């Protein structure tokens, strides 16, 4: 059996879990296994009926009063209990921040590791080979796991399509799971002051990365944004350095955007950035490093100095618009 984790907050689904269902169903087909979903909750989770409409063996609501608000200790205990009862071959999860927090703990407790942030897999001889991105996206690694089941696998957001998960009917089964002492107290999650710029609505985005070199040089990128009527955005290092406010950040910890055109200036294309912009209509990359991973997803690429390219771009755009 494959167990797939359904992530939720107050019984509201994190939709990336549907991608995990699609991944688990795909692996199940290749290996001749069945899939069951696991929802940790403090009550008979309202989400269970929704998840029961997918092609699953069963939906297990792992219930304990301590599972109302997420803590790594409670989730690790609950999962350990479920795994010991169900003896799965694989445990499949989406590679979310929450999963990154508790999954390695569960795995370690059972003498296992997590093969994390996978982008695809191949099945051969009843076992999986997982592919992960390493070196900030510059290389791929094919990975196998040793030892006995269960094997823990997490998939990167977008590796599978949630709307490809197969529908069906499943029984809902509620079980009371054991949760021991919790060594941390969780407060309510909150959203920081609403972003002043909503980049998700931008038609054109000019984004800068470390290649811009200094805060003063942002004016170069701004001139291009002005010429195109675009919004200025950045990769994480730029916002970490406080050259631009965090509401301009694109990527897993910032905004996820899909503009018509995305122009990446001096951005190498670490995975954490790419997940936030890969669905842009047209991606343009300007980078000195011909091997920067950003070129793998770009429609148009210029290998060269952005400080040479951008002024020419601005000039030519003005001509074209005149």
Partner 1 sequence: MKIIVLMKQVANKDAVLRVGADEKWIDESNISQQTNESDGYALEEALRMKEAKGDGEVVVCTLGAQSAKTVLKDALARGADRAIHVVADNVNRLSPYQIAKAIADAIASENADLVYTGLQSDDASYGQTGVILAELLGIPHATIVIEVDRASLNGSLRVKRELESGWYQWFKYQLPALLTIQSGISQIRYASLKGIMAAKKKEIRDVTPTIEPFAGAQKIEKVYLPLKMKQTQMLGGGDAKKGAVELVEKLKTEVRVL
Find the binding residues for partner 1 in span 1-20 (CB under 8 A). none
Backbone φ, ψ for residue 189 (5° rounding): -65, 150
Smaller CB distance to partner 1: residue 27 or 59?
Answer: 27
Report the site for partner 1 in 223-242 (rule: CB under 8 A): 228, 236-237, 239-242
| 178 scored as a contact of partner 1 (CB under 8 A) | no
Report the site for partner 1 in 270-309 (rule: CB under 8 A): 281-286, 289, 291, 293, 295-306, 308-309
| 117 scored as a contact of partner 1 (CB under 8 A) | yes
SS3 at position 223: helix
Backbone φ, ψ for residue 227 (5° rounding): -65, -35
Q: Which stretch binds partner 1 (CB under 8 A): 38-46, 47-55, 100-108, 168-176?
A: 100-108
Longest distance between any two alpha carbons in the chain, whole Å: 70
Backbone φ, ψ for residue 264 (5° rounding): -100, 115
Supply the DSSP symbol for 179: -
Task: Determine which residue in the list 183, 196, 201, 216 makes contact with partner 1, applying CB under 8 A.
Answer: 183
**Which residues are within 8 A (CB) of 290 and not within 5 positions of it... i.e. 6 or more apart?**
303
| 86 scored as a contact of partner 1 (CB under 8 A) | no
Task: Determine which residue in the list 261, 264, 267, 280 makes contact with partner 1, applying CB under 8 A.
Answer: 261
| 180 scored as a contact of partner 1 (CB under 8 A) | no
| 196 scored as a contact of partner 1 (CB under 8 A) | no
Backbone φ, ψ for residue 268 (5° rounding): -75, -35
Considering the complex, what minimum distance in angstroms separates the CB of residue 8 from partner 1? 13
Cβ proximity of 67 and 42 under 8 Å: yes
């Amino acid at each position: 059996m494959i167990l797939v984790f359904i992530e939720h907050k107050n019984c509201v689904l994190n939709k990336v879990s549907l991608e995990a269902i699609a991944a688990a169903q795909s692996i199940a087909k290749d290996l001749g296994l069945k899939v069951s979903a696991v929802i940790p909750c403090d009550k008979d989770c309202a989400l269970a009926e929704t998840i029961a409409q997918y092609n699953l063996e069963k939906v297990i609501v792992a219930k304990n009063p301590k599972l109302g608000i997420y803590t790594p200790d409670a989730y690790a205990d609950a999962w350990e209990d479920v795994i010991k009862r169900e003896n799965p071959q694989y445990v499949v999860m989406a590679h979310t921040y929450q999963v990154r927090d508790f999954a390695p703990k569960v795995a370690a407790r059972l003498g296992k590791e997590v093969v994390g942030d996978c982008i695809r897999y191949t099945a051969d001889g009843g076992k999986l080979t997982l592919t992960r991105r390493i070196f900030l996206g510059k290389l791929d690694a094919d990975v196998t796991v040793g030892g006995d089941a269960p094997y823990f696998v997490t998939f990167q957001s977008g590796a599978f399509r949630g709307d490809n998960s197969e529908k069906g009917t499943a029984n809902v089964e509620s079980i009371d799971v054991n949760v021991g002492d919790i060594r941390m107290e969780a407060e309510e999650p909150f959203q920081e002051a609403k972003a002043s710029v909503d980049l998700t609505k931008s038609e054109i985005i000019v984004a800068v990365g470390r290649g811009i070199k200094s805060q003063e040089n942002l004016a170069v990128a701004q001139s291009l944004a002005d010429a195109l009527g675009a919004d200025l955005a950045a990769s994480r290092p730029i916002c970490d350095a406080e050259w631009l406010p965090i509401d301009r950040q694109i990527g897993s910890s910032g905004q996820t955007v899909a503009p018509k055109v995305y122009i990446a200036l001096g951005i190498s294309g670490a995975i954490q950035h790419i997940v936030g912009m890969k669905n842009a209509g047209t991606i343009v990359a300007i980078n000195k490093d011909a091997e920067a991973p950003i070129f793998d997803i770009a429609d148009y690429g210029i290998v060269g100095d952005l400080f040479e390219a951008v002024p020419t771009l601005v000039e030519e755009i003005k001509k074209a618009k005149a």
